[in-house]
Amino acid sequence: MNDSKKLSEKKRDLLYPEIMEKALAVSVGRASPAEIDELNILHATMLAMQRAVAGLSIKPSHILVDGNRTPEFGISADAVIKGDGLIAAISAASIIAKVTRDHEMAELDALYPQYGFAKHKGYPTKAHFEALAQYGVLPEYRKSFKPVREWLAQNS
C-alpha cells in the first residue's frame, strides 16, 4: 500500500477489489462542481470527507485524515501530513478515491470522447486544455477553474 499517486494504474486496479473485499466499511464522499464553485476547493473537500464518514455503515471511533487539517466529524480525528504514504487505512482510502474517480472519468469519456477524459483523467494537461478550448465547457466543469472561467468570459 502507498499513496495512490505513487502507484501505477495497474497496481491501483489490482488493490481496489482487495480493499473493497477486506475493508469493514467503505464510503466515497463527493462535492459537486457547483459546491466547489460556491465553497472553494478546500471547504468542498472537507464537506466530501464529512459525507464519506457519514456514509460509512460502521461508525468509526477515530478518524485519520491525509493532510494538515480535518473537518468537524463529531468524532475524534487527526490530520496526518503525507498520511497516504504512511498509514495503510489512509492509503486504502486514497486508492479507493483515485480508482473511483478514474472510473468516473471513463464514464465521462464515453459521453464526451472528444475531451479525452479516459486519458488525462480530468487533470489539467495540455490535451485537456486544448479540448476545452476547442469544444467548450461541459456541465461537469467547475466554473471557478481558471481555464473554464476564461473560456466562459471569452465565449459569453
Residues 53-112 pLDDT 10s: 999 999 999 999 999 999 999 999 999 999 999 999 999 999 999 999 999 999 999 999
pTM for the model:
0.89
Q: What is the pLDDT of residue 145?
A: 87
Containing 130, the helix (H) or strand (E) segment is helix 126-135
Q: What is the pLDDT of residue 89?
A: 95
Q: Under a CB-based contact definition with an 8 Å cutoff, are residues 78 and 70 in contact?
A: yes
Three-class SS state of 139: coil
Q: What is the pLDDT of residue 47?
A: 98
- Report the alpha-carbon distance of residue 77 to residue 75 in Å, rounded: 6
Q: Is the pLDDT of residue 2 over 80?
A: no
What is the domain class of 4-101 according to CATH?
alpha beta
Instruction: Kindly report, as residue ranges, where domains of CATH 3.30.420.10 are found in the chain.
Output: 4-101
Q: What is the pLDDT of residue 120?
A: 92
Q: What is the pLDDT of residue 75?
A: 96
Q: What is the pLDDT of residue 15?
A: 97
Residue from 72, 82, 78 nearest 47 by CA: 72
For residue 136, is it left (φ>0), alpha (ψ between -120 and 50) or beta? left
Confidence of residue 42 (pLDDT cuts 50, 70, 90): very high
Q: What is the pLDDT of residue 150?
A: 87
Q: Is the pLDDT of residue 146 over 90?
A: no
- Report the alpha-carbon distance of residue 85 to residue 31 in Å, rounded: 24
Q: Under a CB-based contact definition with an 8 Å cutoff, are residues 63 and 70 in contact?
A: yes
